[in-house]
Structure 1
Amino acid sequence: MLNATAIVQNTPLFGRMFNVDRSTGLEDINAWPSLMVMTSFVWLIAAALLGILMPVAQLLGLNTNVFYTAITAHGAALAFPFTFQLMVGVSLHRAGGCLGKKASGKLPALIYYCMNIGGLLLTAAVFSGLKISYAVMYPLPIVGVQTGQWSMGLVVLGFTGIALVLTSVIFLYPLQLLRMTFFSREHEELVLSRRTIKDPGMVGMIMAALVLLITGTPLMIIAGTILLGLYGILPMSAIAWAAEPVVFQFAFYIFAHNLMEAMAIMVISAVYATLPLYLADGTRKLYSDKLANVALWILLVTSVTSFFHHFYNMFPALPSALAYHGNIMSWGTGIGAAFSIFTILATIWKHGIRAEPGLMAILMGFVIYIFDGVTAMVIANVAVNAQLHATMSVSGHTMSVLTAMALMWMGVFYHHYPVITGRRLDRTLGNRFVALYSIGAMGLLYTFQAGGAAGMPRRFADWAQGGWMGYGVAILIFGLILSTAFVVYLVNLQRAREISPLGDLAAETAT
C-alpha cells in the first residue's frame, strides 16, 4: 500500500494544507484521515464548480446536455467523494484518538481507493453521456440505452463506479469503525482523550456503522447481482428477480434514506463529543449524557422505517398505511432532534462556551440541519409530497442536509487540524468562513423551498419556460456566497502557522 503521509506531502498546493505532523508520534491516527479529508476537498472544488455551472448554463441558454451533465456529476461528487469521505476521514481520526486504536492498514487504504476510483469511474461515465441521478431510479439507466441516449457500456462503467463507492460506504468503512471499537489492540500513546463506548460521542458512531452495514447489505446483494448480469457473468434471466423495479427501489431507498440518517447520527455524536471541549468553565461534560443517548436512540428507531414516506406514490405495490407510517416516523425524528437541541442548549446555558470558529461551524451546521429537518418533516407528509415530490423542494432538502453535515464536519476537522498538522488556523478567517457558509447555505435552502412551492421542477433544463429564472438567479448568488466560504476555508488552511512547543499540542486540542 502507498504511504498516505507521502501522498499528502507530495500533492501540489494541497500538500501544505494537509501535511501530517510526524513529530508527535500520531501518524497512525492522522495519515489516512488526512489523505481522505484532503481528497474530499479536491472533490468539493469539482462539485462547487459544477454547482455554479447549472444556473450559469440556464442563464446563458447553453445546450441542455451541459445542465444535465453538471447536475448529475455535481450530485454524485457532493454526496459521496466529498461529504461522506470528509466524514470518514474525520471520524476515523476521532475514533483513533478516543480509543487509542490505529486508523491505518489495509482497510483504510481500501476505503480510500474504492471511494475515489469508484467516483472517478462514475464521473467518467457521466461526462461521456450517462445522465442519471445519484438517487438511481432503476430501470431508467436501461431505458436510456433502449432510447439511444447512452450506451450499455456507459451503464456498466457507471454502475461499476457506484458499486465501488457503495462497497466503501456499506462494508469497508463500517467494518473499520467496528474493528477499531471492539477488536483492535489499544495503543496508549495514541490516546488523546479517552472515551468509553457508552459516551454519547461514541454511541452514535457505533449506531451509524451498524445502520450502514445492515440497511446497505440487501442493496449490495441486489445491485451486485444486476452488475454480474451486466458483465455477462450471469445470464439476464437469472437476475430477473433483482431487476424488478419494485425490488430494486425498495432496497435502494431502505439504504439511501438510512444513509442520510446514519450520517446525521454520526455527526450529532461528533457534536456531543466536541462541544464539552469548548465549555467556558472547563467542566468538559454535557448537561446530561443520558438525554444525549436517548436522543440518539430515538433518532435511530424512528429513522430506520421513515424511508417508507418515499413510497407514497407506489400504490398498490406499497400499502398506503406504510406510507403514513413513514410520515409518522419522520415526525418522530423531530422528537430525537428536540432532545438534541435541549441537551446542546442546556449545556451551553449551564457552562457557557468559548466561541471558537470550529465550534461555531459545528453549531451553525446543526442549526441548518434543524431548519432543513423542519422542511423534510413537511415534505414527508403524504398530501404535501404529492405536490412537491418532483420539484426543487425535494432537491433542496437533499442538498441542504448534505451542506449542513459538511459544515459540521468541517468544524470538527477545524478542531482536530492542529493535532493532525501541528499548525494553527486563523480565527478571523475561521469566523468569516462560518458567516459566509451560513448565509449561503440558508439562502439556498429557502430558495429551493420557495422554488418548489412555486412548482419549479427538479432536474429541468429550462427554468425560463415556467418563469422560474428568478429562483435560478438567487441560487447562483447564494451558491457563489457558499463557494466563497469554501475558498476562505482553504485559504485558512494554506496560511496556517506552526505551533510550538509541540509537546502541548495534543493536550490543547484533545479529541
Structure 2
Amino acid sequence: MTVTETVKTSLSDIVNIPKLMFYTSILWFLLGGGAGLYMVLSHLSGATYVANYYQAMTLHGVVMAFGGLFQLMMALSLMRAGFCYGKPVKGFVASASYLLLNLGLLMAVVATWLGVRTSYTLMFPLPAVGALHGLWTLDAVTLFVWGVVLVVAVVVALYPSALARLIFFGKTREALILERFVGTLNPSGMASMLPYIFIVPVLGSAILLEAALIGMALINLVPLDEIAWILHPLNFNYPFWVWAHNLMEAMGIMGLGTVYWLIPRYTARMERAEDAAPRLYSEKLGIFAIIFYASAAVMAFPHHLYTMPTSQPIGLSYTGQIASWLTGFGAAFSVFNISATAYRKGLRLTPATLAAMLGFTIYVVDGFIAMQLGTIGWAYRLHGTYYATAHLMTILLAVTLIWIGAAYHSHSLLTGRTPSNRLAYTHILLTALGALGIFYIMAYMGAEGFPRRTYPLPFYSDPPMAGILVFGLLLAIGQAAFLLNLIKAKSK
C-alpha cells in the first residue's frame, strides 16, 4: 500500500460515519422543510384538514430539530474531535448513534403518518389523550414513544459517550491529526464540547428513564399502575424541560464554540503566518464565557413553566428568570471576544467565516427575544404566541448556520472536492435572509397576539403568512444552491 493510500485509509476512519450522518441530516432537513412550507400554505389556503396540519407540524418539529440540526452537529463535532485528537470515529458507539437516531426518527415519522399528532415541545400527555379519544391508535402511540426513546437515548447517552471517547480515551494516531492544538481546554472552541458531555447526560437521565418506562408499559412489560406517578403532568414536564432546555443550551454553546474554533483559522495574521496557532483574542475569556454560560443555563429551565396551569413556586420562577438573564452575559462575552478577534487579527471572507458569523449574529439577535421570554411578566403575555415560535425556529436556524460554516470548512473531507464559492455564498446569504425574515414576521405576529400551534388562526393572517412564505421560499432556494454545490463537487 502506498503512502497516499495509507493516508486515505486513515482519513476514512475519521470521515465515513460522520459523512453518513451529514448526508442523512440533509435528507431530514429537506423533509422537515417541506412540512414547514406545507404548514404555511395551509394557513394561506385554508384548504388543509386540521388533522393533516398537525401531522405536518409534528413531522416538521421532530425531524428538523433531531434528524437535521442535531445529526448535523453530531456529524461535524465527532469529525472535528477525530481530526483534532487524531482518533478514529468508528466502533459500536458511533455506529449505534447513527443507526438508533435514524431508526427512532423513522418510527416517529411512521407513527405520525398513522395519525399521531403533537408538537415535539408539547409531547405529553397529548399522544395518549388522542388515542383515548379515538383520534389515532394506541399502537401508533407505542411506535411514537419508542421512536422518542431511541432518539433520546442517542442524545442523552450514546452521542456524548462517543464524544467523550474521542476527547478523553484511546490512543492518538499521528496520521489522523489534521489540525493540532494544545490540551483539552485550549482552544476554547474544543472546550465547548465539555458542557454537553458532562451536563446533558446527567440532566437527561430522568426523562430517558421515564420515557423508557412509559414505552415498556405500553407493551405490557411494566404494569401501568406502577408507573402512574410518571404520568402526572407535573412529574413529566419538569424532567422534560430540565433536559430539553439544557439540550438546546448545550447545542447553542457548541455552536458558539464552533465560531470560536473557526474564526481564528481564517484571519490575515494566520495567512501571513504571524500567529503560531489559531487563537481567539482571549482564549481565557472564551473558556470563562463557556463555563459562565453553561452554569447559568442549568437553572434557566423554569422559564418554560411560568404558565403551567399547576403553577410552579414563585421562587423557582424567579430563579429561572435570573438564570435566563445571566446567560445573556455569557453571550455578551462571546460577542466581544469574537468581534475583537475579527477586528484585531483581520478576518478573511470565506464561506466558512460568513456562515459562522451570520449564524452567530442571528443567534445574538434572537437572544433579545429569549431574554424577554425568560422574564415572568413578558412570558405571560407572549409565551403562547408566535413570539415563542420565532425564538425557537430562529435559534435552531442560527445554530444550523454556524454548523454550515463548519461544513464548508471541512467540505473537502466530506465530499473530496472544493465547493463553488459563488454557490456557497448564495446558499449562506439566502439562508440568513430567510431566517431573519421569518424571525421578524413571527415576532410581529406574537406581539399582535397570534397563538402558536393553532390552525386555523383566529385572526386574519394572510399578509404575515405571505411574508413567511416569501422568506421560506428564499430559504428553500438557498438549500437548492447548497445541494447543487454538493452535486457539482461530487461530479467534477
TM-score between both structures, scaled by the size of structure 1: 0.91
Aligned to 1:3: none
Q: State the one-letter code of the partner of 2:378.
A: V
Is this contact kept in 2: 1:358–1:430, CA < 8 A? no
Aligned to 2:483: 490
Deviations 1:362-389 (A, max 9, x none): 1100011111111111111111111111
Alignment of 1:172-191 (within 5 A): 172-191=158-177
Aligned to 2:308: 314
The yes-or-no answer on 1:404 pairing with 2:388 is no
Aligned to 1:159: 145
Q: State the one-letter code of the partner of 1:457.
A: P
Q: State the one-letter code of the partner of 1:54.
A: M
Give distance in 2, aligned partners of 1:258 and 1:228.
26
Give distance in 1, aligned partners of 2:253 and 2:219.
36
Post-superposition shift, 1:137? 4.0
Please point out which of 218, 221, 243 is paired with 2:209: 221
Is this contact kept in 1: 2:146–2:212, CA < 8 A? no
Is this contact kept in 1: 2:415–2:486, CA < 8 A? no
SS in structure 2 of the partner of residue 423 of structure 1? coil
Please point out which of 102, 118, 121 is paired with 2:104: 118
Is this contact kept in 1: 2:7–2:175, CA < 8 A? no
Is this contact kept in 1: 2:352–2:405, CA < 8 A? yes
Please point out which of 175, 185, 190 is paired with 1:198: 185
SS in structure 1 of the partner of residue 8 of structure 2? coil
SS in structure 2 of the partner of residue 496 of structure 1? helix
Deviations 1:270-328 (A, max 9, x none): 11111111011112221010000111011101100100111212376521121121111
Give distance in 2, aligned partners of 1:64 and 1:482.
26
Indicate the RMSD between aligned Cα atoms, in angstroms: 1.6
Post-superposition shift, 1:128? 1.2
Please point out which of 60, 63, 67 is paired with 1:81: 67
Post-superposition shift, 1:420? 3.2
Between 466-475 and 82-91, the greater mean CA deviation after superposition: 466-475
Deviations 1:114-158 (A, max 9, x none): 111100100011111100111134222221122221111111010
Post-superposition shift, 1:498? 8.8
Aligned to 1:33: 18
Aligned to 2:382: 388
SS in structure 2 of the partner of residue 281 of structure 1? helix
Please point out which of 215, 224, 247 is paired with 1:259: 247
Give distance in 2, aligned partners of 1:140 and 1:130.
9
Give distance in 1, aligned partners of 2:69 and 2:221.
34
Give distance in 2, aligned partners of 1:496 and 1:316.
55
Aligned to 1:55: 40
Post-superposition shift, 1:23? 3.2
Q: State the one-letter code of the partner of 1:309.
A: H
Aligned to 1:466: 459
Please point out which of 46, 67, 76 is paired with 2:31: 46
Between 256-265 and 188-197, the greater mean CA deviation after superposition: 188-197
Give distance in 2, aligned partners of 1:146 and 1:24.
55
Seq. identity, %:
37
Q: State the one-letter code of the partner of 1:322.
A: L
Aligned to 1:503: none
Give distance in 1, aligned partners of 2:180 and 2:7.
22
Alignment of 1:354-503 (within 5 A): 354-463=348-457, 465-496=458-489
Post-superposition shift, 1:203? 0.9
Give distance in 2, aligned partners of 1:472 and 1:35.
35
Aligned to 1:279: 267
Is this contact kept in 2: 1:137–1:249, CA < 8 A? no
Deviations 1:32-84 (A, max 9, x none): 00000000001111011111101112222222222111111011111001000
Post-superposition shift, 1:24? 6.4
Give distance in 1, aligned partners of 2:174 and 2:108.
41
Is this contact kept in 2: 1:32–1:104, CA < 8 A? yes
Please point out which of 294, 303, 313 is paired with 2:288: 294
Post-superposition shift, 1:417? 1.1
The yes-or-no answer on 1:344 pairing with 2:331 is no
Give distance in 1, aligned partners of 2:241 and 2:311.
14
Give distance in 2, aligned partners of 1:184 and 1:24.
19
Aligned to 2:3: none
Please point out which of 212, 220, 231 is paired with 1:243: 231
Give distance in 2, aligned partners of 1:125 and 1:497.
35
Q: State the one-letter code of the partner of 1:134.
A: Y
> Would the alpha carbon gap of residues 421 and 25 (structure 1) be closer, same or farther in structure 2, given more than 3 Å must change?
farther
Give distance in 1, aligned partners of 2:125 and 2:320.
24
Q: State the one-letter code of the partner of 1:42.
A: L
Q: State the one-letter code of the partner of 1:210.
A: F
Deviations 1:150-203 (A, max 9, x none): 111111010011111111111000001111111111111100112320120111
Give distance in 2, aligned partners of 1:346 and 1:479.
33
Give distance in 2, aligned partners of 1:434 and 1:443.
14
SS in structure 1 of the partner of residue 59 of structure 2? helix
Q: State the one-letter code of the partner of 1:50.
A: A
Q: State the one-letter code of the partner of 1:49.
A: G
* 5+ long unaligned stretches in structure 2: 1-5
Is this contact kept in 1: 2:74–2:159, CA < 8 A? yes
Between 416-425 and 230-239, the greater mean CA deviation after superposition: 416-425
How many equivalent pairs are there? 479
Is this contact kept in 2: 1:422–1:498, CA < 8 A? no
TM-score between both structures, scaled by the size of structure 2: 0.95
The yes-or-no answer on 1:331 pairing with 2:331 is no
Give distance in 1, aligned partners of 2:148 and 2:141.
10
Post-superposition shift, 1:422? 2.4
Q: State the one-letter code of the partner of 1:493.
A: L
Aligned to 1:134: 120
> Would the alpha carbon gap of residues 163 and 46 (structure 1) be closer, same or farther in structure 2, given more than 3 Å must change?
same
Post-superposition shift, 1:108? 1.1
Deviations 1:394-418 (A, max 9, x none): 1121111111111110110110111
Aligned to 1:94: 80
Post-superposition shift, 1:25? 3.0
Q: State the one-letter code of the partner of 2:330.
A: G
Post-superposition shift, 1:22? 7.8
